[in-house]
A and B are shown apart, each in its own frame.
Chain A
Amino acid sequence: MRDVAIIGVGMNKWGELWKQSIHEIFVEAALEAIDDAGVDHIDSMYVGCMSGGLFNGQEHLASVLADYLGVASIPAARVESACASGGLAVKCGILDVMSGASDIVLVGGVEKMTDVSGDAATFALATAADQEYEVYQGVTFPGLYAMMAHAHMHKYGTTSAQLAAVAVKNHANGSKNPLAQFPQLITVDDVLNSVMIADPLHILDCSPITDGAAAAVICSLETTKRIDKKPIVKFTGFGHATASIALHSRSDLTTLTATTEAGNRAFKMAGRTPADIDVIEVHDCFTIAELMVLESLRFFEPGQAGPATEAGLTQIDGKIPVNASGGLKSKGHPVGATGVAQIIEITKQLRGEAGDRQVKNARIGMTQNMGGSGGSTVTHIMEVI
């Protein structure tokens, strides 16, 4: 099996992109990635998109996007695993290169969420939950994470202020990211005084509705020898796992088993442990998610991620910098693009190109991208060589 490197990244400024269509957003990011890689062609393409059908009335996105990118003859596929679609696209691209079937692959993600009303967007996102036995009953995505938060608080004594500390930290990081949708600084009081969405989650505990795309060019390690691109970042591990889609079907509501499994697989493949990781991007769709992910990946013991966040251990200069990009919370969360944007952030951190939010001496980075209420997770470990 061949080693796989990442040689180009591209991402636009995220937000409410009223003037751009889904293809324009994607093509902009893809061209930037291709230019950054300095390649003259791509052999194949994988694009993560959760719901072109419900957000844009457009399925068959692989053809649409390949066509608008001007590469229409290549094999292309759109992959879907709810909010983990982007991470899954990266994994599919890695497998394609590893197998030798393709050499240079574009992996990307896109979501154009503001073409529909807020109610329609809520419906589209809720299709990532169990339609028949969760959504039918009137639950929303904030509601599902709120139930996890309440269970976590009940079991471990996690506080609303600890949840707020996640949002405060991620906005502080995002304020240093020129591509972030909400770069403004916020305080714990801002979060606690913001409107309640689903108790105990306030609106500032929630990631936003975002238009955006992200893309990366990956290739075999041999191919990087022909390309003048330094330093080279390569994938040393990845993991992918599923869990029951319905929250109520899980035995423990305070842990994310798919994240633990996907994490273990990536650690084993890379021969690493959490202690080796210098910087990590995790799926903070809600503040409670960041805490539960960090505990499920064993960066902290169960119940300890909240106190650790409050103590500053997850800041850029902390013991384990988490979501230096601003995370989904501040950077935005165009669902299909999120997993690819995490890969981009780690690439920039490992290349030393992260500007004001650069983590010092970052050599080994990790991403964790999660679908639904934790029903799927894709992880990657990347190292600079």
Chain B
Amino acid sequence: MAIPNYWRSIPQRYRYEAAKCTGCGKIFFPPRIVCDECASRSFETINLSRYGKIVTFTVIRIAPSQFVDQAPYPIGIVELNDGIKICTQIADCNPDDLKIGMPVRLEFRKISQDGTPGIIQYGYKAVPVK
């Protein structure tokens, strides 16, 4: 991802900042400037919960080049406790043990890097909660 784009999204990737509509309370991650529920344009910043559960998942076995060293890796859709769903890798697990509905927690991880000379891009990955 281009550096300015990555930099803009640091509040989302590092600390899960979302926008909560002051009109109807709907939460948007990433933040938006108009609510698709009530058309309000007024939002407050909130931090999403780090805890949630797996809604669905797969195991990527043929990976894009920047993820080859981690393949095969599970990736899924996780619903956080605020009801927001995100797409995230599921780390530190045996893929065979994963189940829909399993509780997970977000950890801070390296996501990719622009080769060895380029910048390292960080973000969230889910890990199973014991």
Answer yes or no: A and B touching, Cβ < 8 Å: yes
- The answer to whether A119 touches B65, judged by C-beta atoms less than 8 angstroms apart, is yes
Q: Is B123 an interface residue (CB 8 A)?
A: yes
Complex formed: what's the CA distance from A134 to B59 in Å?
14
Minimum Cβ distance to chain A for residue B124 (Å): 8
A165 within 8 A of B: no
| Contact status A137-B87, CB under 8 Å | yes
- When distances are taken between beta carbons in the complex, the residues of chain A under 8 Å from B55 are 151, 253
Nearest A-chain residue to B68, judged by Cβ = A119
Q: Mark B28-41, 1 if CB is under 8 A from A, else 0.
A: 00100000000000
Q: Map CB proximity to A onto B76-99 as digits: 1 under 8 Å, 0 otherwise.
A: 110000000111110000010000
| Other-chain contact of A248, B58, B65, B87, B111 (Cβ < 8 Å) | B87
Within 8 Å of chain A (Cβ to Cβ): is B42? no
Tell me if A197 is interfacial: C-beta within 8 Å of chain B.
yes
Q: How far is the CA of A137 from the CA of B56 in the complex (A)?
A: 15
Interface residue total, chain A, C-beta cutoff 8 A: 35
B67 at the interface (CB under 8 A from A): yes
Q: Take A133-B30, A136-B112, A249-B85 as given contacts and tell me if A150 and B56 are in contact as well, using a CB distance cutoff of 8 Å.
A: yes
Chain A positions within 8 Å of B61 at CB level? 195-199
Residue of chain A at shortest CB distance from B71:
A138
Contacting pair B63 A140 (CB below 8 A): yes
Query: Are A138 and B56 interface neighbours, CB within 8 A?
Result: no
Contacts of A142 in B (CB 8 A): 60, 62
Residues of B within 8 A of A195 (CB): 61
- Counting CB contacts under 8 A, is B22 at the interface? no
**Total A-B residue pairs with C-beta atoms closer than 8 Å?**
93
Given A143-B58, A150-B100: A132 and B5 interface contact (C-beta under 8 Å) = yes
Q: Taking the complex as formed, is B51 at the interface, i.e. its CB lies under 8 A from any CB of chain A?
A: no
Decide: A253 near B56, CB < 8 A? Known: A133-B30, A137-B123, A138-B111.
yes
> In the complex the two chains form, what is the Cα distance from A133 to B56 in whole Å?
16
- The B-contacting residues of A in range 72-125, CB under 8 angstroms, are 119, 122-123
Whether the Cβ atoms of B62 and A137 lie closer than 8 Å is no
In Å, the complex CA distance between A154 and B55 comes to 10
Knowing A138-B64, A142-B62, the reply to whether A247 touches B9 (Cβ < 8 A) is: no
Residues of chain B within 8 A of A247, CB atoms compared? 77, 87
Q: Does A262 contact B (CB under 8 A)?
A: no
Taking a contact as CB atoms under 8 Å apart, the answer to whether A137 and B57 are in contact is: no
B75 to A137, Cβ gap below 8 A?
Answer: yes
Chain B residues with CB under 8 Å of A149's CB are 58
Specify which of A119, A137, A200 is in contact with B88 (CB 8 Å cutoff).
A137
One of A126, A131, A136, A150 near B57 (C-beta < 8 A): A150
14 interchain pairs, CB-CB under 8 A: A136-B111, A136-B123, A138-B67, A138-B89, A139-B60, A140-B62, A142-B62, A143-B58, A143-B75, A146-B58, A147-B77, A198-B62, A248-B85, A253-B77
